[in-house]
């Protein structure tokens, strides 16, 4: 590797770090109040012995699974298990629904089967336009569930279907990588906030 190529790569790496920091700082300035609302919504559900369902596609599916693992297992302290289910993990359910119906309803059918009034749906879509996440949000509303939506860019179609009682956490960024990085930080904020309210 030539010195010029190495220098170019180092600059690209540093740019990722600086862009990520800038996005997160902007999110902290503009989203803190809504993040607190989301924490409170989850706390109210969990304190009432309700559960959280989480869904998303690709990297957002991984975030949904990550979040459920933090609640059922632990985040940063030993405490009792908290009920959360990632709707992207059961390959038999996902493939059966996608094959017999359509990919668009892989989450909404699970919400109708597993969700109850008072539960919370965490729907994650970097673009805000994921059809199956939108269908899940609509199903959650019909079940009397509240919704916390993670999006980015301009919020996409999801921003237009949320109710006043829902919480929209839209990352102020257009680049998918920056949105996903900030979504992970938001998840950790929610986990920490819920643990603080539940167990401190």
Flag whether 11 is marked binding.
Answer: no
Flag whether 176 is marked binding.
Answer: no
Flag whether 57 is marked binding.
Answer: yes
What gap in Å lies between CA 146 and CA 122, rounded to an integer? 9
> With left for phi above 0 and alpha for psi between -120 and 50, is residue 10 left, alpha or beta?
alpha
Flag whether 59 is marked binding.
Answer: yes
What gap in Å lies between CA 159 and CA 165, rounded to an integer? 13
Flag whether 128 is marked binding.
Answer: no
Flag whether 160 is marked binding.
Answer: no
Flag whether 156 is marked binding.
Answer: no
Flag whether 132 is marked binding.
Answer: no
Flag whether 182 is marked binding.
Answer: no
Flag whether 66 is marked binding.
Answer: yes
SS3 at position 98: helix
- Contact present, 121 and 111 (Cβ < 8 Å): yes
What gap in Å lies between CA 167 and CA 175, rounded to an integer? 22
What gap in Å lies between CA 24 and CA 31, rounded to an integer? 10
Flag whether 30 is marked binding.
Answer: no
Per the annotation, binding residues for Zn(2+) are: 66, 70, 180, 188
Per the annotation, binding residues are: 57-59, 66, 70, 99-100, 125-127, 130, 180, 188
Per the annotation, binding residues for substrate are: 57-59, 70, 99-100, 125-127, 130, 180
């Amino acid at each position: 590797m030539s010195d010029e190529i190495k220098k170019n790569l180092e600059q690209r790496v540093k740019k990722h770090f600086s862009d990520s920091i800038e996005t997160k700082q902007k999110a902290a300035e503009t989203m803190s109040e809504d993040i607190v609302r989301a924490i409170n919504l989850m706390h109210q559900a969990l304190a009432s012995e309700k559960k959280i369902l989480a869904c998303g596609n690709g990297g957002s599916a991984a975030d949904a699974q990550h979040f459920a693992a933090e609640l059922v297992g632990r985040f940063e302290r030993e405490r009792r298990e908290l009920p959360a289910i990632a709707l992207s993990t059961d390959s038999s359910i996902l493939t059966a629904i996608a094959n017999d119906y359509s990919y668009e309803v892989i989450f909404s059918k699970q919400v109708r089967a597993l969700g109850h009034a008072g539960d919370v749906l965490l729907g994650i879509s970097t673009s805000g336009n994921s059809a199956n996440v939108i269908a899940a949000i609509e199903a959650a509303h019909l079940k009397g569930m509240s919704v916390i939506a993670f999006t980015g860019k301009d919020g996409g179609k999801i921003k237009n279907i949320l109710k006043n009682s829902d919480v929209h956490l839209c990352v102020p960024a257009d680049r998918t990588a920056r949105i996903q990085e900030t979504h992970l930080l938001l998840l950790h904020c929610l986990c920490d906030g819920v643990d603080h309210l539940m167990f401190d």
